[in-house]
Amino acid sequence: MAYPSASGIPSMSGTYTPEIWSGKLLEKFYGATVLAFIANTDYEGEIKDSGDTVWIRTLPDMIIRDYIKGQPLIADSPEPEKKALLIDKGLYYNVAISDVDAKQSDIAFMDKWGADASQRIKLRQDTVILADIYADAGVDNAGTTAGKISGNINLGTTGAPLALANVASAGVAAIVDKVVECGQVLDEQDRPDEDRWIVLPAWACTRIKTSELKDASMTGDGKSTLRSGRIGMIDRWTIYSSNSLPYVTDGGARSFHCPFGHKSALTYASQFVKNEVLKNPNDFGDLMRGLHVFGWEVINPDSMGVLYAKAA
């Protein structure tokens, strides 16, 4: 191997210096995934393959009537509704591991790649599902007249996204105030106080952290936000930060659909149905591949709303 000398003339060591493969891998960082914290898996059941359907039965509302002495009683026949949770989405990975690579046996590549695939599948699911669910929010839980009873809460709408900042000003709303108003929206739907969540983009979480009310309104639990994106609580909301939220350009600004709700709103089911290693028919070595199937459904729209906003 040749190395530069002090005179600038290469000299030869006379000994071959072999390449060294490090036993450590460069650390990888992943975006936070929130699906496991905002959805329930109550109806997951036994999933064997893509295309399976889980049927969810709902309890019908009982009709309560005024009693009048001597009047014949009316007999109602409540019909339970059912919703279909269709497991119709699939994600897979298929990796060729040559015998040459396998010689680097100081690193368990299969374990590392399997873990990487699992995390990337979670991120992909978040992106797909968060881009879909906001459209299924209850009609009283979105828009410029949100609130089932009050009807006077502005949560933004197409063509008029809310401009949010850490403090209110002309044409700009204070983000903490809006988060609290989202709580009122669920209050008017008689949703429970616990298990409430809201997903916000990183810029909105920054507005919260720099707001005037941050010390009084925001609480944390000392846990790392790694993987979950949890940054703390406001009112009864658990706040999650996600870079997977969908956005559109509206009025020249990026506007985000930020879902909020109670955990009863969204149900989700998933499973790795295939995870196998087999001989590569086209090369010396193996194939490592896996198939993950999943599906979701907003089963209780009145338990979910959407805040449509842009950064001020």
Note the pLDDT tens digit of each residue in 121-156.
999 999 999 999 999 999 999 999 999 999 999 999
Rounded CA-CA distance 177/146 in Å is 15
Q: How would residue 253 be classed by pLDDT, with cut points 50, 70 and 90?
A: very high
Average pLDDT over residues 246-261: 95
What is the β-pairing status of strands 173-174 and 304-311? Answer: unpaired
Q: Say yes or no to pLDDT of 1 above 50.
A: no
pLDDT at residue 9 tops 70: no
CB 200 within 8 A of CB 239: yes
For residues 210-233, give the mean pLDDT: 61
pLDDT of residue 150: 98
241 pLDDT tier (thresholds 50, 70, 90): very high
In this prediction, residue 226 has a pLDDT band, given cuts at 50, 70 and 90, of: very low
Q: How far apart are CA 71 and CA 10, in angstroms?
A: 111
Q: Which residues contact 175 (CB under 8 A, 6 or more apart)?
A: 164, 165, 166, 204, 207, 208, 211
Q: What is the mean pLDDT of residues 223-234?
A: 68
Whether the per-residue pLDDT at 6 is higher than 70: the answer is: no
Q: How many CA atoms lie within 13 A of 312 on its CB side?
A: 17
Edge-to-edge order in the sheet of strand 89-98 = 89-98, 285-298, 266-279
- Quote the mean pLDDT of the chain: 86
Q: Can you give the pLDDT at residue 286?
A: 86
Six-digit token pair at 266? 């969204």
Nearest one of 146, 213, 227 to 182, comparing CA atoms: 146
Q: Provide the pLDDT for residue 222.
A: 46
Position 47 scores a pLDDT of 77
187 has pLDDT over 50? yes
Could you read off the pLDDT of 40-65 as tens digits, one per residue? 998 887 777 777 888 888 888 889 99
Q: Give the tokens for residue 94.
A: 């298929």
**Nearest-CA neighbor of 240 among 102, 94, 126?**
126
> What does the pLDDT average to over 265-280?
89
Instruction: Report whether pLDDT(254) > 70.
Output: yes
Band of pLDDT at residue 103, cut at 50, 70 and 90: low
84-102 confidence digits (pLDDT tens): 899 999 999 998 887 666 5
What is the DSSP-derived secondary structure letter of residue 112?
Answer: H
C-alpha pair distances (Å), 247 with each of 122, 157, 201:
20, 13, 10
Instruction: Please report which confidence band the pLDDT of residue 297 belongs to, taking 50, 70 and 90 as the band edges.
Output: very high
Query: Looking at residue 225, what DSSP letter applies?
Result: -
> Is the pLDDT reported for residue 301 higher than 90?
yes
Residue where the block lists tokens 């790694």: 226
196-222 average pLDDT score: 76
Is the confidence at residue 303, as pLDDT, over 70?
A: yes
Lowest mean pLDDT among 5-14, 156-165, 275-284: 5-14
Structure confidence at residue 39 (pLDDT): 95
| Residues 271 and 257 sit within 8 Å (Cβ to Cβ) | no
Predicted TM-score (pTM) of the model is 0.82
pLDDT at 168 over 80: yes
- Indicate the residue type of 293: V
The predicted structure's pLDDT at residue 215: 47
